[in-house]
Structure 1
Amino acid sequence: MLRYLYATDLERAPDLAAGMFRDRAAQFRDRLGWDVQVDALGWETDQYDVCDPLYVIATDRSGAHLGSLRFLPTTGPHMLAEVFPHLAPRIHDRDVWEATRFCLAPRSPLGTARLLLLAASQLGLSMGLTHALGVFDGAMPRVYRRLGWEPEVLGQAAGIAAGRWTFDPAIHDRLCHATGVSPQRARDWFEADLGHLPLPT
């Protein structure tokens, strides 16, 4: 299942939120060795988690966290502009959002990464966005290519790259086919959480 929750709505799913932030600590601090902040609860958070980002979350049947992504509009504070400005020109566009903190839980099954890409694609198409931006390890483009949605690399330095994904219905259909999730089911998951909200302006 896929969930779409703004930070201000995480209180509706406290166990899911705790699992997400703890799995982020397990991935970014413990497995990758990044210099990140982990609090006394074992949660990994940073300054962008207080900007009311939109989290895309894959869950198991019990509702537990399997993987997640964090989205922020490029019209406000975001990582590429403030932490990695040397990787790409500043983009300030209401139709372009940044995706960061791509996290897979230690127990996540095969297919979770592709399911998160499907979720990101559904978010973009449903919200009328044109592109998503991201910062990733320089070796990741071939992984994204294998998963079915490769970004355009905008710049790279010291093994880190910035890229841009284009939201495209044809790509979305391929991701649906690859994940075994029907386009209608993908829409239903999005609308269950966000269908009642107006689109960003």
Structure 2
Amino acid sequence: MFTIITPEKRAGHTDELDQMYRMRYRIVVGEWKWDIPGIDFGYDKDQFDTDETVYVIVQNEAGDIVATSRLNPTMRPHMMSELFSDYCNLQPYPVGADVWECSRFVTDRSMLADPVEDFQVRCRLGLGLIVFCLDHGITRLSWLTHQKFYNLVQKVWVTEPLGLPRREGDNWAWIPAVSTIDRATLDRQLDRLRNAEAIVADYMAPKRAADDVRVA
């Protein structure tokens, strides 16, 4: 379903990590057009991919990585503390042994057959993050994301903003946030995976209705 790569397990997952960094570059630089200082061409590994970073990956049946995310302890320098502290204009970003930062939540939609599979892969990635947190006493995750994804996350994770939405010259309004992670979060995420087809059908219904009107 998912693989959690902790620092002590990296030696056994070097091929997967190499593929993951290349996949991230393909999406965040190639598709999303992010400008990430200091990374090599074709390889998204930056200063927040550290010796303490934990990765969650989801692979398809062929072994290709179709989704990934990373986790970093907030007791060390992390993206919120080093790059986005000024985004947190409602409350300070949280720091503590039980607070980690989630970043680089990435899926490769070109490798996913349809919206249901896309949704299921995202659910599995979220499950990996939650399971790691529950297993290691992590009660909150901080993260920076665009407003649309923030609105979706609130359906599963109890989440509050750290700052107001902020635009940076593109179509994405960025929001710093913190989410509570507990057993109820896991149960809700499992429910969404089990009901993926019905949930996606509800999401798609307005679009299909609009398409039907245009055709008529």
- TM-score band, normalised by the shorter chain? 0.7 to 0.9
Q: Within 1, Cα distance between the matches of 2:151 and 2:158? A: 8
For 1:175, what is the secondary structure of its paired residue?
Answer: helix
Residue number in structure 2 paired with 1:118:
127
For 1:49, what is the secondary structure of its paired residue?
Answer: coil
2:110 is the alignment partner of 1:102: no
Residue number in structure 1 paired with 2:191:
177
Moved more, 162-171 or 8-17: 8-17
Contact 1:117 1:149 in 2 (8 A): no
TM-score, length-scaled by structure 2 = 0.75
2:148 is the alignment partner of 1:144: no
User: Could you list the runs of 4 or more consecutive aligned residues of structure 1 that deviate by over 6 angstroms after TM superposition?
Assistant: none
TM-superposed CA distance for 1:150, in Å, is: 5.4
Contact 1:60 1:66 in 2 (8 A): yes
TM-score, length-scaled by structure 1 = 0.80
Q: Within 2, Cα distance between the matches of 1:115 and 1:57? A: 9
2:86 is the alignment partner of 1:77: no
Change beyond 3 A, Cα 1:150–1:63: farther
Residue number in structure 2 paired with 1:162:
176
Q: Within 1, Cα distance between the matches of 2:14 and 2:95? A: 32
Amino acid at match of 1:30: G
2:76 is the alignment partner of 1:68: no
Residue number in structure 1 paired with 2:40:
39
Aligned length: 179
Change beyond 3 A, Cα 1:7–1:44: farther
Q: Within 2, Cα distance between the matches of 1:38 and 1:90? A: 26
CA RMSD of aligned residues (A): 2.0
Give ranges in structure 1 of 5+ residues lacking alignment: 182-201
Q: Which has the larger radius of gyration?
A: 2
Change beyond 3 A, Cα 1:123–1:115: same
For 2:128, what is the secondary structure of its paired residue?
Answer: helix
Q: Deviations over 1:94-139 (max 9, x none)?
A: 0000000101123143211121111111111111111000011133
Moved more, 112-121 or 78-87: 112-121
